[in-house]
Amino acid sequence: MQQAGQALQLDRMFFALADGHRRGMLDRLGRGTASASELAEPLGIALPSAVKHLAVLEQSGFVVSEKTGRVRIYAIEPKAIRKMDAWLARHKKMLNAQFDRLELHLAGKSRKS
């Protein structure tokens, strides 16, 4: 069951990163916290659209928010970035091992020719 939950979380993370506006918001949040309107303005999107994008980022775990007065402030969640990085590192290691085996196989064939 835990593995299914992890897969769902990973799906949410990739879905969140699939949109350019959301990636732009993450880039901006990499420089520090911001409100929804501060994140929407440089992207040229309406505030309701920005709030929807931010909800996706929160559900994926990339972003956390805190209400300060009447304004909600958003920040990057470093744990999510580390999870994604660990997943990518594991898969990169597997792919590199496959490429190494292919290289050895091709080298063996070229010596026989």
Could you read off the pLDDT of 24-81 as tens digits, one per residue? Answer: 999 999 999 999 999 999 999 999 999 999 999 999 999 999 998 999 999 999 998 8
Is residue 1 pLDDT above 60, yes or no? no
Please give the residue range of the domain that contains residue 97: 2-112
Is residue 86 pLDDT above 90, yes or no? no
In whole angstroms, what is the distance from residue 50 CA to residue 65 CA?
Answer: 14
Nearest to 72 by CA among 84, 58, 82: 58
Strands 71-76 and 63-68: antiparallel
pTM over 0.75: yes
- Which CATH number covers residue 46? 1.10.10.10
Rounded to 5°, the CA angle 92-94-96 comes to 65
Number of domains in the chain: 1
